[in-house]
Amino acid sequence: MMGLWLLPVAVFPASSGALAQANLLPNPSFELVEPPPPTPAEAASGAPAPAEHWLPRTWNVWADGEAAWQCPDDPLQARTGRRCLHAQASRGACYLRYGPMPVPSDLPWTVEVQCHGHGRVVAGAIKAAKTRWVRLPEESVLDLADQWQALQLDFPPPTECREWLLEVATRGPTEAWIDDASVTYPGLQPLGLPPDHALTRDEHTLVYLPFEEPLNEDAFFVKPEVALLEPGEGRFGRGLRFGPEGYVACSADEHLNARSGTVEVWVKTLFPGNDGVSHNLVGVPGPEGMVLCKDQYGHVAFGFSSGWVPLGHIYADGYANSWQPGVWRHLAACWDEQLMQLFVDGKLIAWAHAPRLSRALGPELAIGSPGLEVDDLRISDCVRYRLPVPPAEAPARSG
Ligand SMILES: [Ca+2]
């Protein structure tokens, strides 16, 4: 089986013969997966869900009617890598969605998805209107064949479209294998998230902790029950595990710049995301605070506060509610006076223009919290990741 990994990886050509463009999708080949919430039988037995029931991260997939889908762990079915999406529909359909994606300009979007099988698949776009989602008239239909082919959709963003969702669906009786999706527009730059290697330190780095060796107790306050993981147990090499009373803190003053910065970290929760408890990932506790957390509502949130009142604060509603324990996830929060953005596994999940930033943060930077494993934490004094977004909306005129 391992030999299959050595086959040349097919790269589909960029559309319209232009130079290859960045792919906005952080998990285009469905290789990044996570276990689903356990069934009652799995919960009772403690047995993990079988590999083909795992979910492709950052995507939403579902089926209705007499349709079903899997993400098989099988290089023979995948076009590249180990995984692809296998959809089977007689009556009903399977749906694959990604988004919402911000529309920064009127440049045209290009979608390509590789498919084979029999029946039909359709690619379409759904735009966010004022109070609802509206399907755009443009769609692209592909009659499937035995060999892999590109389903392609090109469309200019409609006027006043600020965000849109990609939908790829089966149509009619269909069996489809789907892999290697791409979404782009001219000039899109690669984001580089989630990182596929350990980070490094540079002149913008305020703190970088790969957790390969014990923390320097001159700079870090470390409460017991914090332990280095064994090599290979971290996301890269070792990591840090927080036991029931585990606590690590350092000086916020030296390690954080409230006016502009990036916090990026890998975390593995040892609890499910819907546990109803707030967990600090990286934060400044107290009334003059900063928070990067999974909160009690399952929101993934980032922001600042003053006198306990939120300043710039963004979150993705219930994003962590489906999180199962034991999965390394990447978070990155970036901020300056123009924009605040929050990414999970390379997907932009929340953003805000002109966030109100702290002028005076509390003294302590708290890293991690009980029930967490953490790796490759880097805090910088600049924005390292920025996905272009539409300009700020003009404030509504009164009267
Ligand atoms: Ca794949």
> In this predicted structure, which of 5-9, 275-279, 352-356 has the lowest mean pLDDT?
5-9
**74 CA to centre of ligand 1 in angstroms:** 9
pLDDT digits (tens, 9 = 90+) for 211-226: 999 998 888 999 888 9
**pLDDT exceeds 60 at position 185:** yes
For 20-184, CATH number out of 2.70.98.60, 2.60.120.260, 3.40.50.1820, 3.30.420.40 equals 2.60.120.260
What is the SS3 assignment for 175? Answer: strand
Preceding omega of 100 cis (within 30 degrees of 0): yes
pLDDT digits (tens, 9 = 90+) for 306-318: 999 999 999 999 9
Which pLDDT belongs to residue 393? 81
Which pLDDT belongs to residue 311? 96
Which pLDDT belongs to residue 365? 96
Which pLDDT belongs to residue 130? 77
Backbone angles phi, psi at 171, to 5 degrees: -135, 120
SS (H, E, C) 63-103: EEEEEEEECCECCCCCCCCCECEEEEEEEEEEEEEEEEEEC
CA distance 28 to 391: 27
| Across 160-187, average pLDDT | 96
**236 CA to centre of ligand 1 in angstroms:** 22
DSSP secondary structure letter of residue 159 = T
Which pLDDT belongs to residue 6? 41
Which pLDDT belongs to residue 8? 40
DSSP secondary structure letter of residue 252 = H
Provide the CATH number for the domain formed by 205-380 in this structure: 2.60.120.200
CA distance 168 to 63: 12
CA distance 164 to 13: 24
**10 CA to centre of ligand 1 in angstroms:** 11
**32 CA to centre of ligand 1 in angstroms:** 9
Residue of higher predicted confidence among 328 and 19: 328
pLDDT class for 374, splitting at 50, 70, 90?
Answer: very high
Closest CA to 54 of 29, 33, 75: 33
Closest CA to 169 of 223, 208, 115: 115
User: Going by C-beta distance under 8 Å and a sequence separation of 6 or more, which residues neighbour residue 314?
Assistant: 301, 302, 303, 340, 341, 342, 350, 351, 352, 355
Which pLDDT belongs to residue 239? 96
**pLDDT exceeds 50 at position 60:** yes
CA distance 20 to 304: 38
b/e per residue 9-18 (b: at least 16 CB within 10 A)? eeebeebeee
CA distance 376 to 355: 26
Which pLDDT belongs to residue 19? 54
H helical segments located in the chain: 40-45, 252-255
Q: What percent of the chain has pLDDT over 90?
A: 82
**102 CA to centre of ligand 1 in angstroms:** 25
Backbone angles phi, psi at 92, to 5 degrees: 90, -170
CA distance 12 to 76: 19
| Across 32-48, average pLDDT | 90
Average pLDDT, the chain: 92
* DSSP assignment string, 14-49: PGGGPPP---S-SSTTS--EEPPPPPHHHHHH-PPP
Residue 164 burial by Cβ neighbours in a 10 Å radius (0-12, 13-18, 19+): buried
Which pLDDT belongs to residue 176? 98
**pLDDT exceeds 70 at position 14:** no
Q: Are strands 221-223 and 279-284 parallel, antiparallel or unpaired?
A: unpaired
pLDDT class for 277, splitting at 50, 70, 90?
Answer: very high
CA distance 223 to 245: 7
**71 CA to centre of ligand 1 in angstroms:** 9
**138 CA to centre of ligand 1 in angstroms:** 27
Q: What percent of the chain has pLDDT over 70?
A: 94
**51 CA to centre of ligand 1 in angstroms:** 14
pLDDT class for 47, splitting at 50, 70, 90?
Answer: confident
Where exactly are the structural domains of the chain?
20-184, 205-380
Which pLDDT belongs to residue 21? 79
**77 CA to centre of ligand 1 in angstroms:** 9
pLDDT class for 48, splitting at 50, 70, 90?
Answer: confident
Residue 321 token pair: 């509610």
Are 128 and 163 spatial neighbours (Cβ–Cβ below 8 Å)?
A: yes
DSSP secondary structure letter of residue 4 = G
| Across 339-358, average pLDDT | 97
Q: Do domains 20-184 and 205-380 have the same CATH topology?
A: yes
**179 CA to centre of ligand 1 in angstroms:** 5
| Across 55-62, average pLDDT | 96
Which pLDDT belongs to residue 160? 83
**178 CA to centre of ligand 1 in angstroms:** 8
**72 CA to centre of ligand 1 in angstroms:** 10
**173 CA to centre of ligand 1 in angstroms:** 24
pLDDT digits (tens, 9 = 90+) for 101-155: 999 999 999 999 999 999 999 999 999 877 889 999 989 999 999 999 999 999 9
